[in-house]
Homo-oligomer: A and B are copies of this chain.
Amino acid sequence: MVTMNLKLLTIVAEAVLEDRIVRDLRAAGVTGHTVTSAHGSGSRGVRAGSVGGGNVRIETVLRPALADQFLEVLAERYFPHYAVIAWTSDVSVLRGGKFA
């Protein structure tokens, strides 16, 4: 069985940002993602998204270099304005060749 060592990038943001973040992922070359609805609070207090609309948890598996690159995109475009948090972790992926 062939597995590849890739990165799992998880982004938690207000639900209204989902389309925009997914568009940015596509533009960066990321071809797959998974979204779950969430709620919660962040270090700025209750996230704006918690009142009306909630949060989304966006996950995508990608090459380490692209994960770092997309963290920069998030840091530039979202962090100054929105309660977005993001983290990466090491994953072993089956059928790794299909990931960006």
Residues of A within 8 A of B (CB): 1, 3, 6, 8, 12, 31-43, 55, 57, 61, 68, 71-72, 74-75, 79, 85-95, 98-99
Contact = CB atoms under 8 A, between A and B. Distances in A.
B38 A34 contact: yes
This protein's copies in its complex: 3
A94 B87 contact: yes
Interface of A is mostly: strand
A87 B79 contact: no
Given A36-B57, A61-B85, 5 more contacts: A36-B36, A61-B87, A85-B94, A87-B94, A89-B91
Given A1-B71, A68-B1, A32 B93 contact: no
